[in-house]
Amino acid sequence: MPRYDAPIRDMKFIFHDVLALQNYSNLDGFADATPDIVDQILETSGKFASEVLFPLNSVGDKQGCKRADDATVKTPDGFPDAYKQFVENGWPLLSKTPEMGGQGLPHALSIAVSEMMSAANMAFAMYPGLTSGAYEALMAGGSDDQKQIYGPKMATGEWAGTMNLTEPQCGTDLGLIKTKAIPQGDGSYKLTGQKIWISGGEQDLTENIIHLVLARIEGAPEGIKGISLFVVPKYFVNEDGSLGERNTVSCGGLEEKMGIHGNATCVMNYEDATGWLVGDEHKGMRTMFIMMNEARLGVGMQGLAQAEVAYQNAADFARERLQSRALSGPKAPEKPADPIIVHPDVRRMLMDTRAFIEGARMFSYWTALYGDLLHKSPDEKVREKAGDYMALMTPVVKAFLTDRGLKACNDALQLHGGTGFTKDQGVEQYVRDVRIALIYEGTNGIQALDLVGRKLAANGGRAIFTFFAELDDFIAENESDEELKPFIDALATAKGELQEATSWLMQNGMSDFNNAGAASMDYLELFGLTALGYMWAKMAKTALAKRGSDPFYDDKLVTARYYISRILPETSAHLAKLKTGAEPLMALEADRF
């Protein structure tokens, strides 16, 4: 039977042993995040994910969402009830600010919770995930009134939020937006236009939906500098907080998609819909960017999450499926054949995924902690570094974790053989669901361009140089430790290659921007591999110190060794490729492809 068991032991290891959250009690809300509280939150949310959300995962895939002629949308059976429980349990409030009724706990912890929800049911988890994104945007850019009207109900999840960016003619290039906003003289605007691919644009989970919409005020400058952000509620909110009339925004249709069938992907039609400006005129993109780091981190988690659930079921299948004998002689002679986990190539797929997952989990929680430090640290230098790191790491988390997450899901399918291609065990759903994570919130190619074009260069390269200095310090501190040495040496090699790639980019990317573009994806891969190498070295150090108390630490060291010997060597190919420059890519005329 397919299953999802929350990887709580590993989460505890990261939070308590490696990141040591208990040492950050000077930050708001962290004192409340005692190890006991953290464990309890992980366990109860993991149970909810496994027992409530996971059984609905295949239901959602098979049923999908249905739009009726009256433009209402029905989510799959069980989704509304599960959503009700989700809200009643208070999961959305975990790390939200107490002013809005939240618990104010660390963001890093809520990232772990969202990993579990997403692993159990990605299509479901997107509804509250996007609500959180919209909520954060309102908190970042909205007026006090707007925060007061929409904030508390969005914080609890009683109301949902959506992000309306894409139009048929524009995805990446939001400067091409056509949706018009006409000021009404009373502070409100009338919005007209069509938005597409709006996740949760309409549904039957919440009594209200708060749409955040990018549009162009009549007479605004062309391009990206003329885009404003509006809040457009499905139902207007009366002064007493009750719901009023229906706004003229409606779902014009649902997309047929490869995966995440349980999530309603809507065409949204705005027909003189009433909305209010969020933040300043023509500055809509600024607010969007504020919340984008968090949203992208969340998408990266989806890659990791689907990899985790796929891995668990692949490991089960590998232990249960009897087929052929071990190359080294029968391991289960009493059975008609050995379980396929005896075969090295089956283990290759499992270990590849395991080493990715555990490294990626550490990397994303570590990055999320910088999100907490950015918002909560009293020390300006710490906040500066945290902001630099969030900016630098976010595109890597988003793209590297989703690219490798897809690979992991495909490996899990492959391990299932023919069974994997059928709908029997549900593993092919993970491949189809995770696929979108490489695309939305900025395609992975856009992440790579953001990394090399914007993040590396910002503040004269301050972020990347700080990171290199941190790696150098870590290497210097630990290279004399005999047991740690293999990890330190491997990290030093990867770091050297990343540094060489960075220098190459600085020398060649400025003189010809196409060199930067051509190098971008290989640079991002090299960065991701190195960052995970650092995470693995940190985890190995902790595991060596704790070894003996729990076989968990021995397993951790096995997986760490696998990472440095069987995954990290990929760095050199990326370095070689990126140093070729743009010429091999740009030489062919467009019409010759």
Site for a copy of itself in 82-141 (CB under 8 A): none
Q: Which of 20, 31, 37, 322 binds a copy of itself (CB under 8 A)?
A: 322
Q: Which of 444, 478, 508, 542 binds a copy of itself (CB under 8 A)?
A: 444
Q: Which of 42, 82, 299, 449 binds a copy of itself (CB under 8 A)?
A: 449
Q: Determine, following the binding rule CB under 8 A, whether residue 432 of this chain makes contact with a copy of itself.
A: yes
Binding marks (x or -) toward a copy of itself, 245..264, rule CB under 8 A?
Answer: ----------xxxxx-----
Contact 274, 188 (CB under 8 A): yes
Spatial distance between the Cα atoms of 522 and 361, rounded to a whole number of angstroms = 22
Q: Which is nearer to a copy of itself, 52 or 341 (CB)?
A: 341
Tell me how far, at minimum, the Cβ of 335 lies from a copy of itself, in Å.
11
Q: Which is nearer to a copy of itself, 418 or 460 (CB)?
A: 418
CB atoms within 10 A of CB 168: 12
Tell me how far, at minimum, the Cβ of 290 lies from a copy of itself, in Å.
22
Tell me how far, at minimum, the Cβ of 469 lies from a copy of itself, in Å.
28
Q: Which of 109, 268, 436, 491 binds a copy of itself (CB under 8 A)?
A: 436
Give every CB contact of residue 296 below 8 A, 6+ residues apart in sequence: 394, 395, 397, 398, 441, 442, 447
Q: Which of 191, 309, 448, 490 binds a copy of itself (CB under 8 A)?
A: 448
Q: Which is nearer to a copy of itself, 272 or 489 (CB)?
A: 489
Spatial distance between the Cα atoms of 239 and 216, rounded to a whole number of angstroms = 28
Q: Which is nearer to a copy of itself, 171 or 461 (CB)?
A: 171
Q: Determine, following the binding rule CB under 8 A, whether residue 215 of this chain makes contact with a copy of itself.
A: no
Contact 245, 228 (CB under 8 A): no
Interaction with a copy of itself in 172-201: which residues (CB under 8 A)?
A: 172-173, 175-176, 196-197
Q: Which of 8, 71, 382, 582 binds a copy of itself (CB under 8 A)?
A: 582
Contact 432, 256 (CB under 8 A): no
Tell me how far, at minimum, the Cβ of 407 lies from a copy of itself, in Å.
10
Interaction with a copy of itself in 345-364: which residues (CB under 8 A)?
A: 345-351, 354
Contact 574, 526 (CB under 8 A): yes
Tell me how far, at minimum, the Cβ of 550 lies from a copy of itself, in Å.
12
Q: Which of 216, 343, 398, 495 binds a copy of itself (CB under 8 A)?
A: 343
Identify the DSSP state of 340. Answer: G
Sign of CA dihedral 541, 547, 549, 554: positive
Q: Determine, following the binding rule CB under 8 A, whether residue 503 of this chain makes contact with a copy of itself.
A: no
Give every CB contact of residue 435 below 8 A, 6+ residues apart in sequence: 258, 259, 406
Spatial distance between the Cα atoms of 356 and 307, rounded to a whole number of angstroms = 9
Which residue is listed with tokens 């997107």?
A: 126
Give every CB contact of residue 274 below 8 A, 6+ residues apart in sequence: 184, 188, 189, 190, 191, 232, 236, 247, 248
Q: Determine, following the binding rule CB under 8 A, whether residue 324 of this chain makes contact with a copy of itself.
A: yes
Spatial distance between the Cα atoms of 417 and 430, rounded to a whole number of angstroms = 15
Q: Which one of the listed residues 115, 136, 308, 441 is annotated catalytic? A: 441
Spatial distance between the Cα atoms of 115 and 105, rounded to a whole number of angstroms = 16
Q: Which is nearer to a copy of itself, 280 or 320 (CB)?
A: 320
By CB under 8 A, the count of residues binding a copy of itself is: 96
Judge residue 547's burial from the number of C-beta atoms within 10 Å of its C-beta, 0-12 exposed, 13-18 middle, 19 or more buried.
middle
Picking from 234, 56, 302, the residue whose alpha carbon sits closest to that of residue 65 is 56
Q: Which is nearer to a copy of itself, 140 or 176 (CB)?
A: 176
Tell me how far, at minimum, the Cβ of 54 lies from a copy of itself, in Å.
19
Q: Which is nearer to a copy of itself, 116 or 314 (CB)?
A: 314
H-helix or E-strand spanning residue 216:
strand 208-217
Sign of CA dihedral 149, 152, 157, 163: positive
Binding marks (x or -) toward a copy of itself, 261..280, rule CB under 8 A?
Answer: ----x---------------
H-helix or E-strand spanning residue 128:
helix 122-141
Q: Which is nearer to a copy of itself, 167 or 202 (CB)?
A: 167
Alpha carbon separation from 342 to 312, 329, 425 (Å, rounded): 17, 10, 21
Q: Which of 22, 143, 499, 514 binds a copy of itself (CB under 8 A)?
A: 514
Contact 41, 16 (CB under 8 A): no
Q: Determine, following the binding rule CB under 8 A, whether residue 516 of this chain makes contact with a copy of itself.
A: yes
Q: Determine, following the binding rule CB under 8 A, whether residue 566 of this chain makes contact with a copy of itself.
A: yes
Tell me how far, at minimum, the Cβ of 439 lies from a copy of itself, in Å.
6
- Chain center to CA of 439: 12
Interaction with a copy of itself in 151-170: which residues (CB under 8 A)?
A: 166, 169-170
Angle between helices 427-434 and 55-63 (to 10 degrees): 70
For residue 592, give the amino acid letter: R
Q: Which is nearer to a copy of itself, 373 or 524 (CB)?
A: 524
Tell me how far, at minimum, the Cβ of 473 lies from a copy of itself, in Å.
27
Q: Which is nearer to a copy of itself, 25 or 572 (CB)?
A: 572
Q: Determine, following the binding rule CB under 8 A, whether residue 549 of this chain makes contact with a copy of itself.
A: no
Q: Which of 275, 339, 359, 371 binds a copy of itself (CB under 8 A)?
A: 339
Residue 222 catalytic? no
Provide the token pair at 179: 């949706």
Tell me how far, at minimum, the Cβ of 298 lies from a copy of itself, in Å.
17
Beta-bridge partners for 270: 193, 249
Q: Which of 323, 459, 503, 507 binds a copy of itself (CB under 8 A)?
A: 323
Tell me how far, at minimum, the Cβ of 388 lies from a copy of itself, in Å.
24
Catalytic residues: 441
